[in-house]
């Protein structure tokens, strides 16, 4: 039987163009869906800025509106409602920042981030910011504490709504946790963190103790900020007590306050202004990040009508103005911390020697929660002088000696009470009265009022030290003769009102001369910012608001004006014969302004950095080097002395000033060339010196693309009025004015 041949079925061909079109369409749909989902996720927790919100906890209606810059204006009929609303509105905008701030200060980051934060948590729990806040809570008057409670209730009202509606800020959802209720203690702990950030000098003492142990006496004295009459004796005491600073404090360098923390402020009387009215300018310098450390708000109630900034998580306005006055601050930077050598009992590591007797230290055992892991037990030992710092990472109970620390901010202080007083003050007398409650950190306050008064006060707790303790090195904690003798009396703190000059300015500069009877500090900021401010304010008597704004953005580099001639003159004949003169010519013709478009700042700052590296890198371990308080001032002094024919052992150890200047110049040119090419005329400061405003979650790739803006070139540097401190390895600007007023 024959069968018909099977017909072969033809395959239907789809044109390649159509395949591509379908693929592209699917990809576009997926991308669009992802973008829409991402947009909805980002938009979901945005603050409600219109309409009505019903909240339990308010006694009356509160009006909130936001201006074109998004700044909230809060109008309430009672102060309790005002601070409740401030807490609610701040949480709308900054809840994740607030939560991280209290966790960082309290040593609770490992609970939500993981074991990578354990060392940092141990450090801050040992340092005791939350313990200090607990001590302070009881010192507040009933009225002020009620405002802390109202603020916390407002934060919690927003938090509860957001959790119930599934609308917590995106950062919480990405980090995978929910915040716990806010407490008044959280606000006070954030305040103590700012005292920590602005009040450190213990690390300088630790560094100089390391010098005493590891370099010659002459080299140690060469790096002291002053030459004490009994310098060799002090160093001999330090040498006799063995503690490994590098091991004890090496990892703390990640948590230390920024070495260039500083600020500018100034105030002019009507005699110095075009309007005939006082002018006040203030630009506090702190870390730069997303979001800003500052939160701007306008608060209005029957008792206050004040505008300015505060740290997110704290009620009131700490810097700003009301209808009658304006004020601003910079850091005094006094020696408010002291390291003490502590001697342990040979048989009981919790007993310590004091005036020939042994006493039992207080021991606090805390449990640190760790995300996805078992809790970790942490022990804190509190001596008569303060917590043992040198054991924070792991107890070295077998060691005979340890280092403890005393700090003014460990005591009960009432800064928020002062802030409420600032906000209500209407003249210098009422503002000065409020200052009595501002104890830590010590700050330079400048003041102006509509009645024409201008004033200044260095305000805060500053210890009176016994004879022989000049805050340069740790001192024996077992000898009561080294205890502080109280604090500088409030009436004797440096104060100025209505000076004949017509202006007052500060920039973390030296504020008292040799005739001042009390010790403040040895490590003032380099003088260049303050000198530039003085130069400009003295130029004329008709300053305007625009002049003040321009001065805040001023990038004139007076350090370059001093050291370019000095270092150029020191270049050796051999170096001058072999260098690329195009780089030297460029530097000498530079206008000495740290502009982003200029090449000069790149080479000058590299020259100083390479010179500093040649002085110290081979002798001082990296971890210890980060403890070197006042390093920039020390280098300046070493160069000035060497130029005057008196080179110290560090300059001599680097081959003398001629060799040091020549080698560092060559290294600076090579570094700039590797970074930006062979032609110095094409170099640009702004191609290296850029700000990113990092978000905390940007450390997790690829979240940096979501949370971080594009890097921007920035004028200025560490020593210009427009302060812009940066990471020397990357050029990333991390420190400067997060707010100007």
What DSSP letter does each residue of 540-564 carry, written as one string?
-S-B-HHHHHHHHT--B-HHHHHHH
**What distance in Å separates the CA atoms of residue 307 and residue 448, rounded to the nearest whole number?**
15
CB atoms within 10 A of CB 618: 9
DSSP of 37-95: HHHHHHHTTPPP-SS----TT-SS--EEEE-TT--EEEE-SSHHHHHHHHHHHHHHHHH
**What distance in Å separates the CA atoms of residue 455 and residue 446, rounded to the nearest whole number?**
6
Nearest Cα residue to 126 out of 395, 330, 369: 395
pLDDT at 32: 47
How many domains is the chain partitioned into structurally? 2
Domain's final residue, options 142, 165, 198: 198
Which uninterrupted H or E stretch holds 612?
helix 600-616
| DSSP three-state, residue 381 | strand
* Structure token pair of residue 285: 């310098």
pLDDT at 11: 46
CB of 308 closer than 8 Å to CB of 296: yes
> Helix 528-537 crosses helix 545-552 at what angle (to 10 degrees)?
160
Domain's final residue, options 163, 198, 233: 198
Measured CA to CA in angstroms, residue 73 lies from 49, 63, 64, 503, 601 at distances of 11, 8, 6, 32, 41
**What distance in Å separates the CA atoms of residue 476 and residue 241, rounded to the nearest whole number?**
10
Whether 684 is covered by a domain: the verdict is yes
Whether 722 is covered by a domain: the verdict is yes
**What distance in Å separates the CA atoms of residue 438 and residue 415, rounded to the nearest whole number?**
5
Nearest Cα residue to 539 out of 549, 527, 551, 528: 551
Nearest Cα residue to 504 out of 442, 458, 546: 458
DSSP letter, residue 437:
T
| DSSP three-state, residue 211 | helix
**What distance in Å separates the CA atoms of residue 623 and residue 619, rounded to the nearest whole number?**
12
* Structure token pair of residue 232: 């060799």
The sign of the torsion formed by the CA atoms of 562, 563, 564, 567 equals positive
End-to-end Cα separation, the chain, in angstroms: 104
DSSP letter, residue 217:
H
Whether residue 685 is preceded by a cis peptide bond, meaning omega within 30 degrees of 0, is no
Whether 254 is covered by a domain: the verdict is no
Report, in this order, helix, strand and coil percent for the chain, each rounded to 5.
45, 20, 40
CB of 668 closer than 8 Å to CB of 567: no
Whether 69 is covered by a domain: the verdict is no
Whether 149 is covered by a domain: the verdict is yes
- Name residues whose C-beta falls within 8 Å of residue 697's C-beta, 6 or more positions apart in sequence: 171, 174, 175, 703, 707
| DSSP three-state, residue 641 | helix
pLDDT, averaged in runs of 10, over the chain (741 residues):
41 54 54 45 65 90 95 98 98 97 97 94 96 97 98 98 93 93 98 91 92 92 72 61 78 73 91 98 94 97 98 98 97 95 94 97 97 95 96 74 96 97 98 97 97 98 88 93 96 97 95 90 92 97 98 98 96 74 92 98 98 97 91 95 96 96 95 96 97 83 76 96 95 95 92
**What distance in Å separates the CA atoms of residue 49 and residue 92, rounded to the nearest whole number?**
10
| DSSP three-state, residue 539 | coil
CATH number for the domain harbouring residue 176: 1.10.439.10
pLDDT at 39: 45
Burial track 443-455 (b if 16+ CB lie within 10 A, e otherwise): bbbbbbbeeebbb
According to DSSP, the residues that pair with 285 across neighbouring strands are 262, 737
Whether 663 is covered by a domain: the verdict is yes
Nearest Cα residue to 587 out of 611, 570, 606: 606
CB atoms within 10 A of CB 411: 15
Measured CA to CA in angstroms, residue 365 lies from 115, 122, 133, 217, 376 at distances of 19, 11, 18, 41, 10
Whether residue 490 is preceded by a cis peptide bond, meaning omega within 30 degrees of 0, is no
Domain's final residue, options 167, 182, 198: 198
- Name residues whose C-beta falls within 8 Å of residue 388's C-beta, 6 or more positions apart in sequence: 126, 342, 361, 380, 381, 382, 402, 403, 404
Whether 405 is covered by a domain: the verdict is no
Helices in 215-297 by DSSP H: which ranges?
217-222, 231-239, 245-249
Measured CA to CA in angstroms, residue 299 lies from 150, 281, 437 at distances of 14, 21, 21
Whether 572 is covered by a domain: the verdict is yes
Give the residue numbers spanning the domain of 599. 558-737
- Name residues whose C-beta falls within 8 Å of residue 563's C-beta, 6 or more positions apart in sequence: 608, 636, 639
Q: How far is CA 475 from the centre of its chain?
A: 27
pLDDT at 514: 83
CB of 713 closer than 8 Å to CB of 596: yes
According to DSSP, the residues that pair with 449 across neighbouring strands are 325
**What distance in Å separates the CA atoms of residue 696 and residue 77, rounded to the nearest whole number?**
37
CATH number for the domain harbouring residue 690: 1.10.1400
Helices in 128-180 by DSSP H: which ranges?
129-137, 142-165, 170-175
Nearest Cα residue to 606 out of 561, 652, 562, 670: 670
pLDDT at 15: 60
In degrees, rounded to 5, the angle at the alpha carbon of residue 285 between the alpha carbons of residues 446 and 99 is 110
- Name residues whose C-beta falls within 8 Å of residue 21's C-beta, 6 or more positions apart in sequence: none
Strand bridging mode 443-449 / 454-459 = antiparallel
**What distance in Å separates the CA atoms of residue 602 and residue 594, rounded to the nearest whole number?**
9
């Amino acid at each position: 039987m024959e069968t018909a041949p099977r017909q072969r079925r033809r395959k239907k061909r789809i044109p390649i163009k159509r395949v591509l079109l379908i693929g592209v369409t699917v990809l576009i749909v997926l991308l669009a869906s992802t973008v829409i989902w991402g947009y909805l996720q980002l938009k979901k927790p945005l603050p409600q800025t219109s309409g009505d919100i019903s909240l339990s906890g308010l006694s009356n209606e509160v009006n909130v509106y936001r201006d074109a810059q998004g700044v909230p204006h809060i109008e309430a009929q009672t102060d309790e409602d005002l601070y409740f609303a401030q807490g609610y509105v701040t949480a709308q905008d900054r809840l994740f920042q607030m939560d991280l701030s209290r966790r960082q200060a309290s040593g609770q980051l490992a609970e939500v981030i993981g074991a990578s934060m354990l060392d940092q948590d141990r450090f801050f729990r040992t340092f005791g910011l939350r313990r200090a806040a607990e001590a302070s809570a009881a010192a507040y008057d009933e009225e002020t504490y009620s405002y802390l409670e109202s603020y916390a209730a407002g934060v919690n009202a927003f938090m509860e709504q957001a959790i119930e509606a599934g609308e917590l800020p995106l950062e919480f959802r990405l980090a995978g946790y929910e915040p716990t209720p806010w407490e008044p203690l959280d606000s006070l702990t954030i305040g103590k963190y700012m005292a920590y950030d602005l009040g450190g000098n213990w690390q300088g003492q630790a560094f100089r103790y390391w010098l005493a142990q590891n370099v010659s006496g002459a080299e140690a004295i060469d790096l002291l900020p002053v030459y004490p009459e009994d310098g060799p004796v002090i160093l001999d005491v330090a040498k006799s007590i063995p503690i490994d600073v590098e091991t004890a404090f090496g990892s703390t360098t990640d948590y230390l306050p920024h070495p260039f923390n500083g600020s500018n402020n100034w105030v002019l009387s009507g005699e110095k202004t075009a309007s005939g009215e006082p002018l006040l300018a203030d630009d506090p310098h702190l870390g730069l990040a997303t979001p800003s450390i500052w939160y701007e708000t306008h608060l209005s109630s029957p008792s206050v009508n004040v505008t300015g900034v505060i740290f997110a998580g704290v009620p009131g306005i700490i810097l700003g103005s009301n209808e009658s006055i304006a004020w601003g601050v910079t850091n005094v930077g006094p020696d408010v911390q002291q390291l003490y050598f502590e001697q342990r009992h040979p048989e009981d590591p919790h007993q310590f020697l004091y005036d020939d007797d042994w006493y039992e230290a207080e021991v606090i055992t805390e449990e640190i929660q760790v995300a996805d892991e078992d809790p970790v037990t942490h022990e804190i030992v509190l001596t008569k002088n303060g917590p043992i710092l040198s054991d924070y990472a792991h107890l070295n109970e077998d060691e005979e000696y340890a280092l403890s620390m005393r700090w003014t901010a460990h005591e009960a202080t009432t800064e928020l009470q002062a802030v409420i007083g600032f906000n209500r003050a209407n003249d210098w007398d009422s503002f000065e009265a409020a200052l009595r409650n501002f104890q830590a950190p010590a700050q330079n306050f400048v003041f102006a009022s509509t009645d024409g008064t201008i004033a200044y006060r260095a305000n805060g707790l500053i210890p009176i030290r016994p004879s022989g303790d000049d805050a340069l090195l740790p001192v024996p904690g077992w000898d009561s003769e080294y205890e502080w003798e109280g604090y500088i009396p409030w009436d004797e703190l440096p104060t100025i009102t209505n000076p004949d000059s017509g202006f007052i300015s500060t920039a973390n500069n030296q504020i008292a001369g040799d005739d001042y009877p009390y010790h403040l500090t040895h490590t003032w900021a380099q003088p260049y910012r303050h000198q530039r401010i003085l130069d400009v304010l003295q130029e004329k008597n008709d300053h305007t608001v625009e002049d003040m704004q321009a001065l805040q953005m001023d990038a004139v580099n007076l350090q370059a004006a001093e050291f370019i001639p000095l270092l150029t003159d020191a270049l050796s004949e051999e170096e001058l014969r072999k260098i690329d003169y195009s780089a030297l010519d460029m530097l000498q013709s530079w206008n000495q302004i740290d502009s982003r478009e200029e090449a000069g700042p790149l080479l000058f700052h590299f020259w100083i950095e390479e010179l500093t590296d040649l002085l110290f890198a081979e002798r001082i371990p990296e971890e210890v080097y980060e403890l070197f308080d006042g390093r920039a001032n020390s280098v300046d002094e070493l160069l000035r002395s060497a130029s005057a024919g008196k080179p110290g052992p560090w300059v001599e150890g680097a081959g003398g000033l001629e060799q040091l200047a020549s080698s560092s110049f060559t290294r600076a040119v090579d570094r700039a060339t590797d970074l930006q090419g062979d032609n110095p005329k094409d170099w640009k400061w702004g191609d290296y010196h850029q700000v990113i405003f990092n978000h905390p979650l940007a450390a997790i790739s690829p979240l940096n693309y979501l949370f971080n803006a594009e890097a921007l070139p920035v004028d200025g540097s560490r020593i210009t009025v427009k302060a812009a401190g940066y990471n020397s390895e990357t050029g990333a600007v991390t420190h400067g004015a997060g707010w100007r007023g």
